[in-house]
Amino acid sequence: MAASPSQKNQLFLGLFIHSIRLGELQYLHDAAVCVDKGGKIVAVELPCDQEKAEDKLYPSLGWTPGDVLVTAAKDGQFFFPGFVDTHLHAPQYPNVGIFGKSTLLDWLNTYTFPMEASMAELPRARRVYARCVRRTLAHGTTTAAYFATIDVAATNLLADLCLAAGQRAFVGRVCMDRLGPEYYLDASPAAAAAAARASIDHIRTIDPGFALVSPVLTPRFAPACSAAALAELGALRRETGLPVQTHVSENADEVALVARLFPGHASYAEVYDAHGLLEGGRTILAHAVHLTDAEADLVARRRAGVAHCPCSNTALTSGEAPVRWLLDKGIAVGLGTDMSGGYSPSVLEAARQTVLVSNHLAMPAAAAGVERAPDSHRQPPDDNERARAKLSVEEVLHLATRGGAEVVGLSDRVGGFEAGKEWDAQLIGLAAVPDGGGEEDGGRAGAGAADEGNVDVFGWETWEDRVAKWVFGGDDRNVRKVWVRGRLVHSRSPS
């Protein structure tokens, strides 16, 4: 059965910060948010303290003080929506930081496939998956879209562990019947579909309504799947209505390989569309670095979303995804850590790298006296497009929350603090530097401040500046508590 939310109604007090639209954060000072036993936000009131909440909100909700758990943010702390990681590979977690000296396709054979295949040993898989889930929760990731492996039992174990830990998750049994080593391939297209169905059935057993954990159809990427395998998964998609996750246009060599393997199709994205894997508006396409204009238009028409993975794209020298261009095309974009192509389990790290990659896209190559090679996949950016390429702190935090929620099909449930949404949230703490800079105690940050992570706040910064300091300097040490559907799933301090 699905893990239950809190057994009490809950009142949260303090500062709440969330994105209300791309590029705009809303700061709710001295606010109160009421969350019922089912983990749903039922009231938002400001200004409001505990006394006012008990006098005004509790009676309207039918609550009594003895049935309410109260959590108040301290000075320097704020509530923020949980992060949505739209793309990561749980079995690759042990390889984080190991990129080798090659690009994507060589890296898969050297590092990735052997590690994934080893997860068939369930004790090993449990050790890896449990750590991966705990680490992502500790970084504030309340929703994760996981690629598992081709092994059904190991995939089911990942789903079990996500449910037990309380993380909202999409768990996909990877399908691939070619390109990989013989020891790590589906025996046939029919076998790939049957294995996917077996994992779906297991997740339906442990979480019948997919309230917390959902299956997701997962063709690894087009080169690793025959046309027959893609067709089987497309038929399963139409039958079940389940979401799909896969990769697209991550690497230039990969794009060329797709053209050779699927000569009858106009483009990489069109391969998925022709096999029924873009329809329905619930497809997560990781990377999308080298989409053509026509492909981007197709993705937008099909209401598929893109998981932007800046750390991985840089680490594997895949390219710089033009996020602003994708957004201008009307495509939903979220952020992905893409471990282990990416080196960190932190969506916050992905957010800061998204800013930096966008800055690089805004830098004309001519400024360094270098001529860019012609881009065969889309029209070269003009000066206006370069100028607009840069993304702000507010924009990348939107992608990390509401944008990601839209990409995974949960925009009606998570991503913000409106009544009716579920309480997927994190409590962030920043370190206050005392008068004298802490010299009186040997240079330490001050009593209790060191426990609030490595972002120093002196008191004169605006909240906009504090959020920027958190984005560029923060990590899991700043994540004090994490909730999913109202359930406390991580804490760095006594609850």
Assess if residue 2 is contained within a domain: no
Q: What percent of the chain has pLDDT over 70?
A: 90
Based on the structure, what is the number of domains in the chain? Answer: 2
- Are 49 and 177 part of one and the same domain? no
- Asked if residue 335 belongs to a domain, the reply is yes
Show the CA angle centred on residue 344, arms to residues 342 and 346, nearest 5°: 120
Strands (E), 252-377: 283-287, 305-308, 332-335
And the tokens for 152?
């059904």
Closest CA to 267 of 297, 287, 301, 307: 297
Please give the pLDDT value at position 446.
44
Residue 259's nearest CA partner among 178, 177, 377 is 377
Same domain, 143 and 72: no
- End residue of a domain, out of 386, 407, 428: 407
Q: From CA 145, how far away is CA 162, in angstroms rounded?
A: 11
DSSP type of residue 450: G
- Same domain assignment for residues 42 and 115: no
Q: Tell me the mean pLDDT in the region 437-455.
A: 57
Tell me: do 444 and 325 sit in the same domain. Answer: no
Tens of pLDDT along 303-356? 999 999 999 999 989 999 999 999 999 999 999 999 989 999 999 999 999 999
1 domain-assigned: no
Could you tell me if 107 and 77 lie in one domain?
A: no
The pLDDT score that the predictor gives to residue 254 is 94
Task: Tell me if the bond preceding 340 is cis, omega within 30° of 0.
Answer: yes
What CATH number does residue 423 fall under? Answer: 2.30.40.10
- Domain holding 182, by residue range, is 83-407
According to DSSP H, which parts of 76-112 are helical? Answer: 104-107
State the CATH number of the domain containing residue 160. Answer: 3.20.20.140
Pick from 273-282, 323-332, 422-431: least confident:
273-282
Say whether pLDDT at 365 is over 60. no
At 27, is the pLDDT very low, low, confident or very high (cuts 50, 70, 90)? very high
Which residue in 482, 427, 414 sits closest to 211, CA to CA?
Answer: 414
